[in-house]
Structure 1
Amino acid sequence: MASKLETRIKFRHLRAVLAVHAHGSVAAAARELCVSPPAVSKSLAEASDILGAELFRRNGRHPVTTEAGELLVRYGRQVLADLGDLEAELTLLAQGSTGSVTIGTSTHQAKSFIAEASERLKLEQPRILIRMQDLEPLDILPQLRDGRIELAFGDFHHVARVGDVDGLKLFDSETVLVTSRDHPALALSDPDWAALTGYAWALPPHSHMMRTAFEALWASEQVPAPTNVFESSSLLSIPLTFDKMQLIGPAPRELAEEWRRMGLVGILPQPVWLGMNPQGLLWSRDLPQSPAVRAYLSICRRMLAEDRARETAAP
């Protein structure tokens, strides 16, 4: 049975709410949508009635989104984004595309693996569209389950913890500490945690599993966490940020070694034992896989088999 939102909410309602949220006034939203201000106001009133909640409240002359309004904005954006993706795929299909695969990642340790797998797929089937999305670790399972992503690179322990996710283990996590190129900590002969946490650090947000792991490590070492913190959810922004500020921060070893070869960062000898979970390629057991997804998985399996063969052949 269809819900009241399915039968009553219209795209004009979503567009009106999103436009007012973005531009801060009904008049500006009307100009954006090429309709009259009364038409926007009518759409807002209808959307509020359908949801049974006020979507905006007045703050002086400007409407401010309520909690219910924020929810509609978040889900409305996704609905319109999905329509945009559908239009793009239909265009590609008309041009001879053979499908698409949408991949989310919460780990940059898989950077080289993802790049090689994507390159091989494009060489074999150049008309497949590959979409990559950076996600927070907590977003991986919900987006796999609702089909917003079809594959994900993330915590392989999800396979054992939940019953509706399957996957391939890629590698164990190994973290090192990187610094700005001329950071004074690089001159320390035997740096300890008490000395290192006195410097400025670049760390992921508190919701990130690596931040949690570091805080647990500092507690076990009985040293205070750094008080001078630059917080960023983008690991790939580290080289640029470290070029401008004197910082210490965690990074996957593979990526850190690449940055050091390029002369972008230094690496401290301080061992980092975080007990981070192994990383893998994940997918939903409950959703059907398209031919493009199966092709990507086939390539990943071949790459893992090649890695095992090389390890077996090594002296």
Structure 2
Amino acid sequence: MDRPSADLSRRLAPNWFARARLKLRHLQLLAALDETRNLNRAALGLGITQPAASKLLAEVEQMVGASLFERRPRGLVPNLQGEALARRARSALVELEQAAVELNSLEAGSGGRVALGSVTAPAVDIVVRAVEAVLRAHPALEIAVEVDSSPALVARLLEGRLDFVLARIPLDVEAAGLEYREVAEEALCLLVLEGHPLLARETVAPRDLLAYGWVLPPPGSLMRQEVERLFRRHGLPGPERVLNTDSVLLGLAALVQGPSICVVTASVAQLLEPGGRYRRLPPLEGGQRLAVPPFGLIRSRVRPLSPAAGRLYDQVAAQLFGGGAASPEPPPPGG
């Protein structure tokens, strides 16, 4: 297949896709090629022949005036132009998928659908209060909340699968297209089961923590790094007996099996302590505290929020920055 060479003197007009008559099939092929890196598998996934797929790719390359994929022994690899266009193609397709979700919700009388993501700390506190406030005023609204790590949440935000998130922007993500409002750092604490030997002390020395098993997030995670820094500051090795898991539920189950220590956010500990079997360890010696870097309220600068998502976003923002909960108005009659 002939490959048009890049023409550096050519600049695409903002409406190039309309002039070139870019079709939905072109976008589907770009997304499929980016996923499979194989022309034949991409064609099979789209239900077309390989020659037809090859023709579609040649058409797109002709439209943009540049080669988009490089042929390698194991398939096709997108170059910089290919990566950029495939990413935009996926975003456009996701937007169309989300349009169907929103229209179906409206047709069913739910008043719309909102999908937000959050790291753990605000999820168990701010998000729950905001969702409850909005649902009181808009009981038919469909709200989905995903709790995950910041990289996963921001990736889904960029894909258009989440309306907004409470997270941190990863270092490898281009932040220019994101609106970020910083909230606060997450305080951490060490959680144990009632009756743990260290609960009898007024303060706890880092060295004493090494005598017990630990439940920690996987290596590389922010909470894990903060615990490791604590021991390094005192010239100590890290814990030897460690259960690696992102699951708070699994961590709590592990504490029941023996005198282990689990690191959690302060908001999670606050939720578990009253009337329960779990307790925070006494303060660390010298007033040392554990915390991870600030998270923020993040949304896309280029993709407007739906009316339903806007209501929940405003309520979350009011919880975070307004000193209290907003009072979302109920929809007008028949709305």
Same fold, TM-score > 0.5, yes or no: yes
Q: Is the 8 A contact 1:26 1:37 kept in 2?
A: yes
Deviates more, 1:85-94 or 1:74-83: 74-83
Mapped to 1, the partners of 2:164 and 2:239 lie a distance apart of: 36
What is the CA-CA distance between 1:186 and the residue it aligns to? Answer: 4.1
SS of the residue corresponding to residue 140 of structure 2 reads coil
What is the CA-CA distance between 1:296 and the residue it aligns to? Answer: 3.1
Mapped to 2, the partners of 1:137 and 1:11 lie a distance apart of: 31
Aligned AA for 1:202? L
Q: Kindly tell me: are residues 134 and 263 of structure 1, through their superposed partners in 2, closer, same or farther at Cα, counting changes over 3 Å?
A: same
Corresponding residue of 2:217 = 203
Deviations 1:67-100 (A, max 9, x none): 6466555544333222100121123334445445
Deviations 1:165-208 (A, max 9, x none): 557x6x773311246x69xx9445666434545855522563x5
Residue 52 in structure 1 maps to residue 49 in structure 2: no
Mapped to 1, the partners of 2:48 and 2:303 lie a distance apart of: 40
SS of the residue corresponding to residue 174 of structure 1 reads strand
Deviates more, 1:119-128 or 1:241-250: 241-250
Residue 83 in structure 1 maps to residue 96 in structure 2: yes
Output the aligned Cα RMSD: 4.9
Corresponding residue of 2:249 = 239
Aligned AA for 1:238? V
Mapped to 2, the partners of 1:282 and 1:132 lie a distance apart of: 15
Q: Kindly tell me: are residues 33 and 274 of structure 1, through their superposed partners in 2, closer, same or farther at Cα, counting changes over 3 Å?
A: same
* Aligned partner (choices 240, 253, 268) of residue 255 of structure 1: 268
Corresponding residue of 1:158 = none
What is the CA-CA distance between 1:33 and the residue it aligns to? Answer: 1.8
Map 1:84-163; keep pairs closer than 5 Å. 84-134=97-147, 136-137=149-150, 151-154=164-167
Corresponding residue of 2:232 = 219
Mapped to 2, the partners of 1:46 and 1:229 lie a distance apart of: 54
Mapped to 1, the partners of 2:36 and 2:301 lie a distance apart of: 41
Corresponding residue of 1:274 = 290
Q: Is the 8 A contact 1:204 1:211 kept in 2?
A: yes
Q: Kindly tell me: are residues 196 and 7 of structure 1, through their superposed partners in 2, closer, same or farther at Cα, counting changes over 3 Å?
A: farther
Mapped to 2, the partners of 1:56 and 1:265 lie a distance apart of: 57
Number of residue pairs the alignment of both structures matches:
289
Q: Which runs of 5+ in 2 are unaligned?
A: 1-12, 169-175, 326-335
Corresponding residue of 2:6 = none
Deviates more, 1:257-266 or 1:12-21: 257-266
* Aligned partner (choices 29, 33, 43) of residue 46 of structure 2: 33
Aligned AA for 2:188? T
TM-score by length of 1: 0.64
Aligned AA for 1:2? P
Q: Kindly tell me: are residues 4 and 194 of structure 1, through their superposed partners in 2, closer, same or farther at Cα, counting changes over 3 Å?
A: farther
Mapped to 1, the partners of 2:160 and 2:32 lie a distance apart of: 27
Mapped to 2, the partners of 1:73 and 1:125 lie a distance apart of: 37
SS of the residue corresponding to residue 305 of structure 1 reads coil
Identity percentage of aligned residues: 24
What is the CA-CA distance between 1:251 and the residue it aligns to? Answer: 1.1
Larger radius of gyration between Structure 1 and Structure 2:
2
Aligned AA for 1:121? V
Deviates more, 1:6-15 or 1:116-125: 6-15
Mapped to 2, the partners of 1:72 and 1:284 lie a distance apart of: 18
Q: Is the 8 A contact 2:219 2:225 kept in 1?
A: no
Q: Kindly tell me: are residues 278 and 52 of structure 1, through their superposed partners in 2, closer, same or farther at Cα, counting changes over 3 Å?
A: closer
Q: Kindly tell me: are residues 98 and 28 of structure 1, through their superposed partners in 2, closer, same or farther at Cα, counting changes over 3 Å?
A: same
Mapped to 2, the partners of 1:129 and 1:10 lie a distance apart of: 32
Q: Which runs of 5+ in 1 are unaligned?
A: 156-161, 307-315
Aligned AA for 2:47? C
What is the CA-CA distance between 1:212 and the residue it aligns to? Answer: 4.6
